[in-house]
Amino acid sequence: METAVHLRRFVAIFVALSFVLSAPAMAQTGGSEAQTQQTTTAPAKKPTTKQIQKALGIKADGVFGPKTKRAVKTYQRRNGLKVTGKADTATLRSLGLIGQPQNSGLDAAPAPIPADAKAILDQLAQCESGGNIAAESRDGRYFGKYQFSIATWEAMGGTGSPAEADEATQDALAYKLYQERGTAPWPACSAQLEDA
Protein backbone atom coordinates (compact mmCIF):
# COMPACT_ATOMS: atom_id res chain seq x y z
CA MET A 1 0.00 0.00 0.00
CA GLU A 2 2.81 2.40 0.96
CA THR A 3 4.61 1.47 -2.25
CA ALA A 4 1.54 2.38 -4.32
CA VAL A 5 1.24 5.77 -2.56
CA HIS A 6 4.93 6.45 -3.13
CA LEU A 7 4.59 5.39 -6.74
CA ARG A 8 1.61 7.73 -7.29
CA ARG A 9 3.49 10.63 -5.68
CA PHE A 10 6.54 9.87 -7.82
CA VAL A 11 4.42 9.82 -11.00
CA ALA A 12 2.68 13.09 -10.00
CA ILE A 13 6.02 14.79 -9.28
CA PHE A 14 7.49 13.42 -12.53
CA VAL A 15 4.53 14.72 -14.57
CA ALA A 16 4.71 18.13 -12.86
CA LEU A 17 8.47 18.37 -13.43
CA SER A 18 8.08 17.31 -17.06
CA PHE A 19 5.52 20.05 -17.62
CA VAL A 20 7.65 22.71 -15.86
CA LEU A 21 10.78 21.70 -17.77
CA SER A 22 9.04 21.58 -21.17
CA ALA A 23 7.26 24.96 -20.79
CA PRO A 24 10.32 27.08 -21.64
CA ALA A 25 11.06 24.89 -24.66
CA MET A 26 7.47 25.26 -25.85
CA ALA A 27 7.62 29.01 -25.31
CA GLN A 28 10.91 29.18 -27.17
CA THR A 29 9.46 27.25 -30.10
CA GLY A 30 6.43 29.50 -30.14
CA GLY A 31 8.73 32.50 -30.15
CA SER A 32 10.78 31.25 -33.08
CA GLU A 33 7.65 30.49 -35.11
CA ALA A 34 6.34 33.99 -34.43
CA GLN A 35 9.72 35.41 -35.35
CA THR A 36 9.72 33.39 -38.58
CA GLN A 37 6.27 34.69 -39.43
CA GLN A 38 7.40 38.25 -38.81
CA THR A 39 10.56 37.96 -40.92
CA THR A 40 8.94 36.10 -43.81
CA THR A 41 8.29 38.57 -46.59
CA ALA A 42 4.78 38.72 -47.90
CA PRO A 43 4.36 37.75 -51.54
CA ALA A 44 4.28 40.67 -53.93
CA LYS A 45 0.79 41.90 -54.77
CA LYS A 46 -0.42 41.28 -58.30
CA PRO A 47 -0.76 44.52 -60.25
CA THR A 48 -4.29 45.84 -60.69
CA THR A 49 -5.99 45.96 -64.08
CA LYS A 50 -5.65 49.75 -64.02
CA GLN A 51 -1.88 49.46 -63.50
CA ILE A 52 -1.64 47.01 -66.39
CA GLN A 53 -3.71 49.30 -68.63
CA LYS A 54 -1.54 52.32 -67.74
CA ALA A 55 1.63 50.33 -68.52
CA LEU A 56 0.12 49.35 -71.88
CA GLY A 57 -0.75 52.97 -72.61
CA ILE A 58 -4.49 52.45 -72.92
CA LYS A 59 -7.46 53.95 -71.04
CA ALA A 60 -7.29 52.74 -67.44
CA ASP A 61 -10.91 51.87 -66.65
CA GLY A 62 -10.09 48.86 -64.44
CA VAL A 63 -11.99 46.39 -66.64
CA PHE A 64 -10.01 43.57 -68.25
CA GLY A 65 -12.25 43.39 -71.28
CA PRO A 66 -11.71 42.75 -75.02
CA LYS A 67 -9.81 46.02 -75.58
CA THR A 68 -7.35 45.27 -72.80
CA LYS A 69 -6.93 41.70 -74.00
CA ARG A 70 -6.18 42.97 -77.54
CA ALA A 71 -3.67 45.47 -76.13
CA VAL A 72 -1.95 42.70 -74.15
CA LYS A 73 -1.76 40.50 -77.26
CA THR A 74 -0.32 43.36 -79.30
CA TYR A 75 2.27 44.08 -76.60
CA GLN A 76 3.21 40.39 -76.33
CA ARG A 77 3.57 40.07 -80.12
CA ARG A 78 5.75 43.21 -80.37
CA ASN A 79 7.95 42.15 -77.49
CA GLY A 80 8.57 38.56 -78.46
CA LEU A 81 6.47 37.10 -75.66
CA LYS A 82 4.06 34.18 -75.88
CA VAL A 83 0.81 35.66 -77.25
CA THR A 84 -1.92 34.69 -74.78
CA GLY A 85 -3.84 37.91 -74.15
CA LYS A 86 -3.38 37.22 -70.44
CA ALA A 87 -1.31 39.32 -68.04
CA ASP A 88 0.99 36.40 -67.22
CA THR A 89 4.21 36.63 -65.23
CA ALA A 90 6.45 37.17 -68.27
CA THR A 91 4.22 39.98 -69.54
CA LEU A 92 3.99 41.68 -66.15
CA ARG A 93 7.76 41.41 -65.76
CA SER A 94 8.30 42.84 -69.25
CA LEU A 95 5.97 45.75 -68.41
CA GLY A 96 8.02 46.39 -65.27
CA LEU A 97 5.04 45.72 -62.99
CA ILE A 98 6.64 42.90 -60.99
CA GLY A 99 10.17 42.29 -59.81
CA GLN A 100 12.70 40.03 -61.40
CA PRO A 101 13.51 36.52 -60.20
CA GLN A 102 16.64 36.07 -58.12
CA ASN A 103 19.71 34.03 -59.13
CA SER A 104 19.89 35.49 -62.61
CA GLY A 105 23.47 36.76 -62.55
CA LEU A 106 26.39 35.74 -64.75
CA ASP A 107 28.14 33.78 -61.98
CA ALA A 108 27.35 30.53 -63.79
CA ALA A 109 27.90 29.84 -67.47
CA PRO A 110 25.07 31.45 -69.44
CA ALA A 111 22.34 29.13 -70.65
CA PRO A 112 22.10 28.70 -74.41
CA ILE A 113 19.81 31.23 -76.06
CA PRO A 114 16.74 29.58 -77.66
CA ALA A 115 16.64 29.82 -81.46
CA ASP A 116 13.56 32.09 -81.60
CA ALA A 117 15.04 34.55 -79.10
CA LYS A 118 18.42 34.42 -80.86
CA ALA A 119 16.77 35.31 -84.17
CA ILE A 120 15.14 38.36 -82.58
CA LEU A 121 18.34 39.41 -80.81
CA ASP A 122 20.32 39.03 -84.06
CA GLN A 123 17.87 41.35 -85.83
CA LEU A 124 18.07 43.87 -82.98
CA ALA A 125 21.89 43.79 -82.99
CA GLN A 126 21.98 44.23 -86.76
CA CYS A 127 19.66 47.23 -86.50
CA GLU A 128 21.37 48.78 -83.46
CA SER A 129 25.04 48.42 -84.44
CA GLY A 130 25.35 46.34 -87.60
CA GLY A 131 26.45 43.54 -85.25
CA ASN A 132 29.61 45.44 -84.22
CA ILE A 133 30.53 44.46 -80.64
CA ALA A 134 32.76 47.57 -80.25
CA ALA A 135 30.18 50.08 -81.57
CA GLU A 136 29.58 53.37 -79.77
CA SER A 137 26.70 55.74 -80.51
CA ARG A 138 27.55 59.19 -81.88
CA ASP A 139 26.42 60.87 -78.67
CA GLY A 140 28.55 58.47 -76.57
CA ARG A 141 25.61 57.15 -74.56
CA TYR A 142 25.19 53.62 -75.99
CA PHE A 143 27.75 50.87 -76.46
CA GLY A 144 28.36 47.48 -77.99
CA LYS A 145 26.45 45.14 -80.23
CA TYR A 146 23.10 45.90 -78.57
CA GLN A 147 23.80 49.56 -77.75
CA PHE A 148 23.48 49.24 -73.99
CA SER A 149 23.50 52.32 -71.80
CA ILE A 150 25.96 51.95 -68.92
CA ALA A 151 23.08 51.97 -66.40
CA THR A 152 21.23 49.12 -68.15
CA TRP A 153 24.46 47.18 -68.66
CA GLU A 154 25.27 47.38 -64.96
CA ALA A 155 21.69 46.53 -63.99
CA MET A 156 22.05 43.30 -65.99
CA GLY A 157 25.29 42.45 -64.16
CA GLY A 158 27.83 43.85 -66.62
CA THR A 159 30.96 45.73 -65.61
CA GLY A 160 33.02 48.27 -67.50
CA SER A 161 31.96 49.36 -70.97
CA PRO A 162 29.68 47.05 -72.96
CA ALA A 163 31.81 47.77 -76.05
CA GLU A 164 34.84 46.22 -74.30
CA ALA A 165 33.06 43.01 -73.33
CA ASP A 166 33.36 39.87 -75.44
CA GLU A 167 30.49 38.94 -77.75
CA ALA A 168 29.29 36.02 -75.61
CA THR A 169 28.88 38.33 -72.60
CA GLN A 170 27.04 40.92 -74.68
CA ASP A 171 24.75 38.22 -76.07
CA ALA A 172 24.09 36.76 -72.59
CA LEU A 173 23.23 40.14 -71.06
CA ALA A 174 21.09 41.14 -74.03
CA TYR A 175 19.19 37.86 -73.66
CA LYS A 176 18.79 38.50 -69.93
CA LEU A 177 17.38 41.94 -70.69
CA TYR A 178 15.13 40.47 -73.39
CA GLN A 179 13.80 37.86 -70.94
CA GLU A 180 12.96 40.58 -68.44
CA ARG A 181 11.55 43.27 -70.72
CA GLY A 182 11.06 41.83 -74.20
CA THR A 183 12.10 44.14 -77.04
CA ALA A 184 10.97 47.30 -75.19
CA PRO A 185 14.57 48.43 -74.45
CA TRP A 186 15.16 48.72 -78.24
CA PRO A 187 12.04 50.69 -79.30
CA ALA A 188 13.22 51.97 -82.70
CA CYS A 189 14.59 48.62 -83.83
CA SER A 190 11.81 46.48 -82.33
CA ALA A 191 9.35 48.31 -84.59
CA GLN A 192 11.33 46.99 -87.57
CA LEU A 193 11.43 43.33 -86.51
CA GLU A 194 10.37 40.80 -89.09
CA ASP A 195 7.64 38.44 -87.96
CA ALA A 196 9.24 35.14 -87.04
Please, are residues 196 and 169 in contact by the beta-carbon 8 Å criterion?
Answer: no
Q: Are residues 171 and 124 in the same domain?
A: yes
Q: According to the model, what pLDDT value does residue 139 have?
A: 92
Q: Are residues 125 and 71 in the same domain?
A: no
Q: Are residues 87 and 142 in the same domain?
A: no
18 assigned to some structural domain: no
8 assigned to some structural domain: no
- Given phi > 0 = left and psi -120 to 50 = alpha, else beta, which region is 135? beta
pLDDT tens per residue, range 132-177: 999 999 999 999 999 999 999 999 999 889 998 899 999 999 999 9
CA 50 to chain centre: 21
CATH number of the CATH domain containing 165? 1.10.530.10
How many angstroms separate the CA atoms of 196 and 193, rounded?
8
121 assigned to some structural domain: yes
Closest alpha carbon to 193 in 128, 135, 114, 113 = 128
Q: According to the model, what pLDDT value does residue 196 have?
A: 43
pLDDT tens per residue, range 11-42: 555 554 454 444 444 434 343 333 333 333 44
- Domains contained in the chain, number: 2
Q: Are residues 119 and 180 in the same domain?
A: yes
107 assigned to some structural domain: no
103 assigned to some structural domain: no
Closest alpha carbon to 196 in 91, 81, 87 = 81
Domain boundary among 36, 64, 94: 94
Q: Are residues 86 and 136 in the same domain?
A: no
Q: Are residues 148 and 88 in the same domain?
A: no
170 assigned to some structural domain: yes
Its domain, for residue 159, covers: 115-190
